Amino acid sequence: MIDRIVPDWPSPANVSAMFTTRNTGAAVAGRNAYAGLNLAAHVDDDPRAVQLNRNQLRQYLPDPPRWLTQVHGSRPIWVDSENETLEGDAAMSRHPGVVCAVLVADCLPVLLCDRAGSVVGAVHAGWRGLARGVIENTIQTLREFSHSEHIIAWLGPAISSRHFEVGDEVRTLFTEYDHQAAHAFFPGKEKGKWHADLFALARQRLAHAGVSRIYGGNLCTYSNPEKFYSYRRDGKTGRMAGLLWMTQFPDSGST
């Protein structure tokens, strides 16, 4: 059994979701920084261990996840076709059994679905993606195919503001878009340094996109090394996954 977090959010009955931790996973000698359930194939971990971990994860899912090549951008893509090139920072589906997934180790995973249970999306939201509009782009695309205008969101574990310091240029990117974003930055110890609150920035972007039902957003990856990987804390480290999927088509009467 793998250790995982099941989101506490009022998703439709046909939508399932989970977030993995670093606990459990393959026991392969010499993994060190990757010890546990690392699911990323691009971080120089032993490929055998990564595959063993993915095999363990598979037993909880209806189908293998459609893993993205994440580029810290703003492009959401539909992953319903196995033939599509999966490069982007948000995975979306409108078909049952297709597992959307994003890999993180401090960046914010945002899971989305509509109230009708007709579309789902998993967003990789680091500060670059947030600033470039990955959340808004994903919600806009989901709504084009949704049976309901009402979208709900769950914010998974990410680095908290206490441990996430950025420069003036990052703060300026957000405040030029919305002056209210200044409330998500707190002065650091040095001039020109700021502590950024990814959770607050994501909530602001979600609100701009018309999403008011937002859940989660209270777990810090950096401050819990026994449970979470953290790139800022460790540098060389594994990745966890935020995943969601539909188990069946929604009822025709859903709104």
- Structural domains for the chain: 4-159+219-246 (3.60.140.10)
The pLDDT of residue 30 is 73
Mean pLDDT of all residues in 54-59: 96
pLDDT tens digits for range 106-161: 999 999 999 999 999 999 999 999 999 999 999 999 999 999 989 999 999 999 99
Residue 84 predicted with pLDDT over 70: no
Q: What is the rounded distance in angstroms from the CA atom of residue 200 to the CA atom of residue 183?
A: 8
**Model pTM score:** 0.95
* Cβ neighbour number for residue 115 with a 10 Å cutoff: 20
pLDDT tier at 208, thresholds 50, 70, 90 = very high
What rounded mean pLDDT belongs to the chain?
94
- Of 134, 140, 141, the closest CA to residue 90 belongs to 134
Q: What is the dihedral of CA 207, 69, 172, 186, to 10 degrees?
A: 70
Return the half-sphere exposure (C-beta side, CA atoms, 13 A cut-off) of residue 103.
22
pLDDT tier at 251, thresholds 50, 70, 90 = low
Residue 254 predicted with pLDDT over 50: no
